[in-house]
Each structure stands twice: as structure tokens, then as C-alpha cells.
Amino acid sequence: MSNQLTDHVTLRHGATLNNRIVMSPMQTHSGLKGGFASDDTIQYYSARSQAAGMLITEFHYVSENGGPAYVPGYPEQLGAYSDAHLEGLRKTAQALKKDGNKAILQIHHAGRAAVGRHVNGLDVVAPSAIDFSFLDYPVRELTLTEIDDIILDFGKATKRAIDAGFDGVEIHGANHYLIQQFFSKLSNLRTDKWGGSLENRMAFPLAVVKEVKAIVDEYAPKDFIIGYRISPEELHGKNVGYDYKEALSLISEVIKYELDYIHLSLWAGYNSKPENSEKSYAELFREIFDDKTKLLIVGGIFGEDTATDAIENYADLIAVARGTLIDPNFAKKVTEGKGDTILHKISPETVEYSHLTPGLLEAFSREDSLGLPPLPGGESIRTLHTGKYDI
């Protein structure tokens, strides 16, 4: 490949990105009850308007029963399931776009991971009513009508993204949330049209993609961006939810809807490989793409050096998570030839520059980071922890 981080990139439907760097979707620990954006949310995103050429938000749940996916330390996430969210969505889009970069709304349904519903005494839904050993609450199987409604909710959330001024949406089909739960034979034990065979397990993800694409075709500008995020495998020791070959089968169908990009969530690193494979996940997925579908990868890309390796050897676009948390001007510095000035550690002196939300600061100033991957230098900000969200 001859890709450079600073290249302008034109996507399938005409949108042009200012560079190949993408801000990874990350929880902001800033939402208000009911999924509303707070002032902290807007300030966080405004500070990162030059973090990347394409900026993907925290996941926004599309149905009222789709979240919040509660995490210790902060009880809420952001929603897009109601027109009441439009004001916050507009402010978020404006904040991200103010320096000419593209704003993408990530949309999802948490399914069994909607712990916040359980905390609030509400039922938690999933493809199948399984007694998961890692959950301390029951889940209820979705009815056929509820499944149809959730598919429509993805479309409605997409329409809100369009109305709010976002440049695109990313369908979150990874990281064990509802779309992946339907695709996984470990969490989908249904015997109707939504479960069983590989074809049936692909039905829900494809129905969501079809609905989103239909809404975009009807209401969005021609260059509106659609992406799809997937974990390339679901492996739990010897228990397999799906392997990469099944994921390739799904994505080969997804890209028939002419999406702009596929986002591979690579927890083991951007250059990781399946067991007994000579090729990386990125290489395997690229092989099934046409020349108009872009590959976006995330995982282990922390600075300009790893970003350069990833973009030169593995993908069309690279997503940076931790790097844009610590340094909100990550891409700006790269494109200005100042990559050597990117901050790689948090410190009491740089906290203000990093513009973390109070919720994120609470998490990262704890020794355990409340389950989040720790930030380098996190030990230096222990004294900033107030215990506000400790439980």
C-alpha cells in the first residue's frame, strides 16, 4: 500500500475525509438520565474537533429498551431513540464538525448488556432468554414484534442523525451488543427465522443494514456515510459464538448494500491474526471488499508510529482511541508535521488540555480505572479522584 496518514480520502458516495485518521467511538461518561447529552458531552466533543478526519461518537441506543449499557462509575449513556434527543444531537454534530471534519453517530442496541435497565427495575431483552453466568440479572427473549420495532428504531435513529446534521452513521454490530448477540450461536438459540442456521443468524444484522440504507437513500444527502462495525470473531475458550469465516460471510452480504466502510474491532491489535492463519484479520477482510469499500481498523494504535504502520500495511483508515483521549489534537499534529509533540501520558498538568469529562476523569483517576483500559500516567492523577460516582 502507499497510504499516508495525511491523505485526503473520498468515500464511496462522495464524502471526502481530510485525513485517514478516525476518532474511535468511546464512552464519554457524560450522558444524563434518559440518554440526553450534557454540557460536558458537548465540551468533550468540541475539544476533539481536530482529533481526526472522521469523528465517531459514543454509541447511542436506538430503542428505549436498548440502554443504558451501565458501567461502574457512571450510570448513563447517550440515546437517539426519541425526537427529544435532537437538540443534543445537533449540538454534538456542530461541535464535532466545526473545523471541517466528518461527524458520525454510532447507533446501537445493548440487548442483554443494558444493565442500566435492570438497575432501574426494568426488564432486559435479548435474542434468547439464557441464564448467562456473567450476568446477575435475568434477560427476556424478544418477541417477533419487538424485533421488528427495533429494526425500525435503527432507521428512526438514522433519520435523527440526518436531521441533526451528522455526516453519517455507524451501525454497531460488535462488542457483544444486540446485533452481535443475534449473530452469535452462543447467545441466539431461537428456532424461528431469526436464529439457528448461519443464514438466519445473519438476518437481524442484515435487516438493520437494509433499514438504515433505505432511510439514508430517502432522506440523506448523497454523500451521507454509512459504516458497520464488527468483531471478527467471538471466541470464549473452546466455546465459539462465530469464527472469522462466518464473519466474512456476514460482511460479504453487508457490503452488497454499498456501505462506505467496515470497521473491524480488533481487541488483540490492528495486526492480529486468527489462530492458524498466516494472514491478519485486516488482510482477510480486505480480500472480500470491492475497491469502493474502505476498511477501518482499531486496536493497539496509540501514536504516529503505530498509526503509520497500520495505514501503510493493513487498512484504508485507522481509528485511534486512547491517543485522542489524551491528546485531542492528535490528527492536527500529525497533519502539521508535529507528530512528535503528541501527548502519550496523562498528568495533572495536562488534564485541562485533554478535556476529559468529569465522569472519565473519575474513572481514569482510580487505580482500577473502573474497568476501562488504564491511561498511561493514570497513577499521577489519583489525587484528582473525588469518589463522586463510586459504588
Cell numbers that stand for 103 in this block: 461527524
CB 151 within 8 A of CB 208: yes
Rounded CA separation 80/211 (Å): 16
61 is catalytic: no
Neighbours of 204 (CB within 10 A): 26
All cell numbers assigned to 264: 473491524
Hey, what's the torsion of the CAs at 330, 371, 27, 203, to 10 degrees?
Answer: 120
By C-alpha distance, which of 370, 346, 333 is closest to 6?
A: 333
What does DSSP assign to residue 153? Answer: H
Catalytic residue among 61, 74, 177, 242: 177
CA distances from 172 to 63, 169, 176, 255, 362 (A): 14, 9, 10, 15, 26
Strands 317-320, 21-23: pairing kind: parallel
Burial class (CB in 10 A: 0-12, 13-18, 19+), 238: exposed
Residue 43's H or E segment, with its range, is helix 39-47
Q: Are 101 and 52 in contact (CB under 8 A)?
A: yes
CA distance 284 to 282: 6
Radius of gyration of the chain (CA): 20
Cα–Cα distance, 386 to 362 (Å, whole number): 7
> How is residue 99 annotated by DSSP?
T
Return d(Cα 226, Cα 13) in angstroms, integer.
9
Q: Which residues are catalytic?
A: 177
